[in-house]
Amino acid sequence: MTLRNELPVPADAGDARAAETALPTKKVFIKTYGCQMNVYDSQRMGDALAGEGFAPTERIEDADLVLLNTCHIREKAAEKIYSELGRIRLLKAEAAREGRNVNVAVAGCVAQAEGAEIIKRASVVDLVIGPQTYHRLPQALARVRGGERVVDTDYAVEDKFDHLPKAGAQEIRRRGVAAFLTVQEGCDKFCTFCVVPYTRGAEVSRSVEAILDEARGLAQAGVREVTLLGQNVNAWAGEYEGRAVGLGGLLRLLAEIPGIARLRYTTSHPRDMDDALIEAHRDLDILMPYLHLPVQSGSDRILKAMNRRHKAEDYLRLVDRIRAARPGIAMSGDFIVGFPGETDEDFEATMRIVRDVGYASAFSFKYSPRPGTPAADIDAQVPDAVATERLDRLQGLIRAQSTAFMESLVGTRMDVLVEKTGRYDHQMVGRSPYLHPVVLAASAGAVGDVVSVSIARNGPNSLIAVGGEPEAAELSSLRKIA
Ligand code: SAH
Ligand code: SF4
Ligand code: F3S
């Protein structure tokens, strides 16, 4: 998935330097690839750059700085960056003809994994900066302006988040009423297929105080829904008033913050779903009844080869316990097909676990061998045609389950967080407890309200509430200019 990030306006950066010295203002274009943690990081880099006088632009041609925040999880994701850099090279040459200098920076997991190789392969790149050193972005850019090519992929000992400027209230509001908040980074699990432990380093938890402080700032600026992020968010561990707390305890503390109406967290590892976290699902209405809990495969043989360190049956029992604590909770997951050595029988076990759980949504991927990971060296790679056929079958089953889940919501009432105006004047768009976009009547509530609506029908990717249907006249003439 490619997500273009929105960037801050410098006047709101909480840094007077921007307003004082930034005439004419420099412009930065940030493009974000990969997971939500990259989305969050791009926002924080945007905040840091705002302090340096950079205003955001949605138009790459206008940018003085192009920043790609990259993902290394699968080969396709990484290769995309090089084709993008090819296009940027032409753009830079074009700007140079007009006498304008454009700097190009590569951040994120490709930066961490490939480092100086990126500059060798794409000479257009001026700066390579890894995910642990974003707080050094301003200094690195100063060196680039001094004519240096900079590669900074250290694992910094200090917490980058403690050193990155916070977004101002106006900027937080501009980003919307639902916000991400990274609480944990890195991974110690070393699944044999995965690059994350190498690109993001060891598991590190942010402190309770830092998290509560940031969440209060979000709430004061009007944020109603906070999604806690971490590569293994449920491995988060902290201390509060002298006692050890896990993610369940953290969620209880966050639930007390006035203004916050909804909490979510992602992504979790089955081995880190402890009792306290399951009890939080039982006790906290504010914690949305939706859980992304990847299992990757339904075959014990493959789970073992993946180093997931649990069996299919353990996962099923865990889901039972979660559902007992929070009846009606919607489950989501990730699956990999075509892991080295996966037989038809192994794949059928994956189909079986999907049928047994019944997912509201799930993501599935063809195994992609990643350099430096143990699975890439296994001889028994599955032929591409076989993996493609398996992926099609699995995705068909997942699609059928998610459609059935959406259909089961038709005729029910649910709380919806109103997020933005809709396509037509009388519509707003909100979010269901299960993350579906919901189209509802504008009269139902304003942005930031949580309103109770009845679901009239399901569209292909969204739910339509009573009153949210486009009116015939609007369909023909009232299309809004977005
Ligand atoms: N920490 C999360 C996953 C992060 S990566 C977890 O453990 O669940 C997101 C997803 O990408 C993974 O769940 C996995 O399904 C997929 N993925 C990771 N490495 C992959 C690879 N080499 N090939 C294909 N899919 C992969
Ligand atoms: Fe990757 Fe496994 Fe860590 Fe998830 S738990 S980030 S899949 S190594
Ligand atoms: Fe990709 Fe890095 Fe996230 S590899 S999925 S951007 S942690």
Q: Which SS3 state, helix, strand or coil, does residue 174 take?
A: helix
Q: How far is the CA of 447 from the centre of ligand 1 (A)?
A: 34
pLDDT band at residue 461 using 50, 70 and 90 as cut-offs: confident
**Total count of domains within the chain:** 3
Average pLDDT over the chain, rounded to an integer: 92
What mean pLDDT comes out for the span 439-456? 96
CATH number for the domain harbouring residue 366: 3.80.30.20
195 and 99 share one domain: no
pLDDT single digits (tens) 317-332: 999 999 999 999 999 9
Q: Whose CA is nearest to atom 1 of ligand 3?
A: 71
280 and 391 share one domain: yes
Q: How far is the CA of 242 from the centre of ligand 2 (A)?
A: 30
Q: Is 61 exposed, middle or buried (0-12, 13-18, 19+ CB in 10 A)?
A: exposed
Nearest CA among 170, 140, 113 for reference residue 45: 140
Given 343, 377, 408, which residue is the final one in a domain?
A: 408
Q: Does residue 232 have its Cβ closer than 6 Å to ligand 3?
A: no
Q: Does residue 73 have its Cβ closer than 6 Å to ligand 1?
A: yes
Whole-number Å distance between alpha carbons of 97 and 12: 33
What mean pLDDT comes out for the span 215-240? 97
Highest-pLDDT range among 159-168, 357-366, 462-471 = 357-366
pLDDT single digits (tens) 177-204: 999 999 999 999 999 999 999 999 999 9
404 and 272 share one domain: yes
**pLDDT attached to residue 7:** 32
Q: How far is the CA of 225 from the centre of ligand 2 (A)?
A: 26
Q: How far is the CA of 391 from the centre of ligand 2 (A)?
A: 20
The number of the ligand 1 atom at minimal distance from the alpha carbon of 187 is 1
Higher-pLDDT residue of 266 and 3 is 266
Omega cis (within 30) before 374: no
19 and 42 share one domain: yes
pLDDT band at residue 24 using 50, 70 and 90 as cut-offs: low
Please report which ligand is nearest the Cα atom of 182. 3
239 and 352 share one domain: yes
210 and 309 share one domain: yes
What mean pLDDT comes out for the span 60-85? 96
262 and 125 share one domain: no
Q: How far is the CA of 196 from the centre of ligand 2 (A)?
A: 6
CATH number for the domain harbouring residue 427: 2.40.50.140
User: Which residues in 71-217 belong to E strands, given as ranges?
Assistant: 103-107, 127-129, 150-152, 178-182, 184-185, 204-205
**pLDDT attached to residue 112:** 96
57 and 139 share one domain: yes
Residue 430 · residue 262 · CB < 8 Å: no
Mutate to test the pocket of ligand 3, among 39, 40, 187, 199 (most ligand atoms within 8 A of CB): 199
**What Rg, from alpha-carbon coordinates, does the chain have?**
23
- Phi/psi for 259 (5° steps) reads 100, -35
Given 105, 130, 152, which residue is the final one in a domain?
A: 152
Q: Does residue 33 have its Cβ closer than 6 Å to ligand 1?
A: no
What mean pLDDT comes out for the span 424-447? 95
pLDDT band at residue 13 using 50, 70 and 90 as cut-offs: very low
Residue 108 · residue 131 · CB < 8 Å: yes
Domain that holds residue 441: 410-481
Q: DSSP letter at 23?
A: S
Q: Does residue 196 have its Cβ closer than 6 Å to ligand 3?
A: yes
**pLDDT attached to residue 473:** 58
**pLDDT attached to residue 469:** 82
**pLDDT attached to residue 476:** 58
Q: Which SS3 state, helix, strand or coil, does residue 288 take?
A: coil
- The model's pTM is 0.92
Q: How far is the CA of 369 from the centre of ligand 1 (A)?
A: 12
144 and 167 share one domain: no
Given 408, 440, 470, which residue is the final one in a domain?
A: 408
pLDDT single digits (tens) 341-358: 999 999 999 999 999 999
CATH number for the domain harbouring residue 68: 3.40.50.12160
Residue 204 · residue 184 · CB < 8 Å: yes
222 and 244 share one domain: yes
107 and 185 share one domain: no
145 and 197 share one domain: no
